[in-house]
Chain A
Amino acid sequence: MSSAASTLSGLRRRFHRDPLLGFSLAAWLGLPAAVLLFRFVNPLGLYVCPFKASLGVPCLSCGTTRMLVAAAGGDLLEAFTYQPLGFTIPLLLLMYLPLVALMPGRLPDRPRTPHVRAGGLVLAAAAAVNWTYLILAGV
């Protein structure tokens, strides 16, 4: 009981410092909310990407709505094929909160400037690979 209380207390303190934990909480709240919303609303066909409409190639975020609708329908593999990066990032963020709770003190207590710069480069490279995939796959 005291262990659970100390884990919660540690998480609360960490929330104040770690923006990644904020992103993780947003994923834990937002993804179930999106799944629930897409049970009532079918957003497919409501919006046409102007980038794809004018150039004929998908933009960086093309496939996200279809990914969410497929995920809401329980087809995770299809969801991944629509937007691999958009599927992977929320998944990693979902894992971050339990990881921090299970391994207190093992991870850096907050991201620092070098971490953010390195993470930004990795994210930019991943976005470039993802965009190439979207263009080649014709998403």
Chain B
Amino acid sequence: MNRTTTEGSGRDDSHDWARRDRTGLVRAFLNTTSELITDPGSFFQKVNPSSSFQGSLLYGVIVFVVSMLFSAFWKTAGLLVGIGATGEAFSQLMGIGAVLVMVILSPILAIVLIFLGAGFFHLVLLLFGWSRHPFGATVKVVSFAGVSGLANAIPVCGGLIGFVWGLILLVMGIRELHEASTGQAVIVALAPTLLVLFCACLFVTMIAMGSVV
């Protein structure tokens, strides 16, 4: 049973995924994915930041598993034709036992990554005092932004496209669900990248100063 109640947010969940009990899971999934691709801003405006996040978590898990299958397909295809990550180490990693375990574990991995990602972004929002809605709203943003993983269906450059698309979806989602400005949403979405850049700057500074040999 989907909860589409409004708890002080001023809007109901009026997107297709919230109506999946009536429209059917496959149709709701396709409609939601289509809307997230064509008009993500409008989609996030239909999401209630205060209702239960279980439904959106289910969507996030499904898109993660599908994108992992795409990714595994291209990696295996690359291995067969001798491009991409090859060699003994990769063959060892992609042994049949490992593949089976990874397929079984992928929904768990999806939940883990969604909670870790949402937790990180929400802590950044809290750090700057920009959080207008509870943690559940951030879980929804990260779950729906996971649709960008479907870019893995594109060989070679799918990962890069997915990364950029994911950032755009995160910005739109945070802006709409936490009622943040676009600038604030960009800072939050780029926080992990900025952290890596900070470490890289530290790295370059250490080399330049010759503080370690």
Spell out A's residues near B (CB within 8 Å): 15-20, 22-23, 25-26, 29-30, 33, 36-37, 40-43, 45-46, 51, 54-57, 59-60, 110-113, 115-117, 120
Contacts and interface: CB of A to CB of B under 8 A. Distances in A.
Given A56-B213, A113-B126, A40 B136 contact: no
B105 A33 contact: yes
Contact of B127 (A33, A41, A56, A113): A113
A20 to B, nearest CB: 7
Contact of A22 (B92, B108, B118, B206): B118
**Majority secondary structure of chain B interface residues (helix, strand, loop or mixed):** helix
Contacts of A22: 115-116, 118-119, 122, 135, 139
Contacts of B116: 22-23, 26
Nearest to B118: A22
Interface string B103-130: 0010011011101101100110011110
Interface string B156-189: 0000000000000000000000000000000000
B41 to A, nearest CB: 24
Given A19-B118, A110-B134, A113-B126, A57 B212 contact: yes
A45 B89 CA distance: 8
B10 interface: no
Contacts of A55: 203, 206-207, 212
B132 to A, nearest CB: 13
A111 B122 CA distance: 10
A37 B105 contact: yes
A19 B212 contact: no
B101 interface: yes
B138 interface: yes
